[in-house]
Structure 1
Amino acid sequence: MERPTVPGIATNGLPVLPQDVAADTASPARGKAMKEALLQKLRPPPLEYSWDFWHDRQGRDKKPSWANEGQNAPSSDNTNGGDDSVEYESRLVKLETISDAKQFWSLFNNFDLGDLKLRDSVHLFHTGVKPVWEDPRNVKGGAWTFRVPKEKAAQFWKEVACMAIGSQLQDAIDNSKKRFTFIDDICGISYSVRFNSHLISIWNRDCENTEGVEKLKKVVLDNISPELALRENQHYYKKHSDHTGFRPPMAGGEK
């Protein structure tokens, strides 16, 4: 009996390769070439930047259940002597580094924001940038903060995260007149649990680029799902240096 045909499968049971992959495998080292070609096709697309995922434990000694075994909070390297800043940094736990789309969706599909406690925060930041105001890449910047009703906050956070890793937020800054101030003006995004509404923040490096800051807000409000739309009084921009707990770092310059 003739074997029934299945789309994408040859009658000998082997997969039918795309034309470009098949061409790559037409060599004496066919098996190895086929493996390499298939792996290349199946490899998830890399992100423009790699991102670190952080959890602010609000001073609790016990690590969250999703933290990797044996992973400790990073020691503080704050040099400005501010006790509040040192205490904040000591609460931060880096949970994961994300460099491709598969890792991003694995994190978002398996991380339950409902497990966060009141006043907890999570942060998705460019690798090498800590989610602290005094970090060299944050110190001259600020953040847009969106107050989102808690029942809508998880979806709002996911959509903003997609805008971040897809460089939609960075493109908004690039389209301003001061586009060359920083190549990577977007530092990261944060999700903070509060009682009635949760806070979702977008951190950028240059608070003086007022045109870029406004474009950043516009791209979020224009592209967020209609059911997540916010009122005018539910978002605001604030320089990091305007926070009462801000401690200017000692001279040393930006990285």
Structure 2
Amino acid sequence: MTDVQNTPAAKTVLTDAENFDVVHPLNSEWTLWFDNPSRRTNASSWTQNLKEIVTLATVEDFWGVHGNVTKAVDLPNGSNYHLFRKGIKPMWEDPANANGGRWGIQLQRSVGGKANDLWLNTLLACIGETFDSSTDVCGAVFSNRKQCFRIAIWTRNAMDKEACEAIGRHLKTVLNGEHQLEYMPHSDNSKSGPKVLYSV
């Protein structure tokens, strides 16, 4: 029989922000990446410029990192954050992404800090596995461009219409239902630009 009176109380981040001993594991581990395309000269230098920052295994990891990295809208122009499942690189050539595509939106720069909130909502939907087809979600990307901000969700299989549309519908609610979303397969990035496969 356990002596409850002599069992030390669990210390959570809420009761002791520096010495807590209780953590909350994520269902999957996620890796945060960063790249700055404005410094690229060719495809190989892009790969070299892609930096793996940290892998997140717990809720506490996520909030610790989120609170201590540069806010998405404050990234240098041309830069990207990528949060992908551990083991998946944020590039089309990765086997997990090769047959997939992405849901994406563009936000006017005038939305300012609201873009940070939408990015956070997107991240929470990913690490919280709230999508109906969560295992089809490979990762999320935030892009800071001179004319706009972009948020995208990458999926595994562009031809799985049911899973893709379910992810798109949920992403739309995550983004407050205010934005038209379009899905483009990675394989269709021709010179004329990718074609929209689905929209919600």
- The answer to whether the superposition gives a TM-score over 0.5 is yes
Pick aligned residue for 2:30 from 51, 58, 62? 51
106, 115, 118: which one aligns with 1:156: 118
The aligned length equals 180
Q: 1:165 to 1:236 in 2, by over 3 A?
A: same
- 1:148, 1:212 → 2: CA distance? 25
Q: Distance in 1 between matches of 2:35 and 2:23?
A: 29
The sequence identity of aligned pairs, in percent, is 27
Cα drift, residue 43 of structure 1: 1.4
SS at match of 2:37: coil
Is the CA contact 2:38–2:79 (under 8 Å) kept in the aligned structure 1? no
If the length of structure 1 is used for normalisation, what is the TM-score?
0.64
Structure with the higher fraction of residues in strand conformation: 2
For 2:25, the aligned partner's letter is: P
Offset of 1:106 from its aligned partner? 1.2
Q: Distance in 2 between matches of 1:188 and 1:200?
A: 11
| 2:51 paired with 1:93 | yes
Question: Which residue of structure 2 lines up, in the alignment, with residue 144 of structure 1?
Answer: 103
- TM-score normalised by the chain length of structure 2: 0.80
User: Unaligned stretches of 5+ in structure 1?
Assistant: 1-22, 62-82, 175-183, 246-255
Matches of 1:24 and 1:157 in 2, distance apart? 45
**Secondary structure of 1:110's aligned partner:** coil
- Aligned twin of 1:102: 60
Contact 1:141-1:207 within 8 A present in 2 as well: yes
Q: Quick one: which amino acid aligns to residue 88 of structure 1?
A: W
Q: Could you tell which deviates more after superposition, 127-136 or 191-200?
A: 191-200
1:4-62 alpha-carbon deviations (Å, 9 max, x no partner): xxxxxxxxxxxxxxxxxxx74459xx5xxx35x7369941210000011000122649x
Mean alpha-carbon deviation: is it higher for 95-104 or for 149-158? 149-158
Provide the C-alpha distance between the structure 2 equivalents of 1:189 and 1:218, rounded to a whole number of angstroms: 16
Q: Distance in 1 between matches of 2:140 and 2:2?
A: 42
Compute the displacement of 1:144 (Å). 0.5
The verdict on how the C-alpha distance between 1:212 and 1:26 changes in structure 2, with shifts beyond 3 A counting, is: closer
Unaligned runs of 5+ in 2: 13-19, 192-200
Establish whether residue 216 from structure 1 lines up as the match of residue 167 from structure 2: yes
What is the CA–CA distance in structure 2 between the aligned matches of 1:166 and 1:192, rounded to whole Å? 22
Is the 2:122–2:174 Cα contact (8 Å) retained in structure 1? no
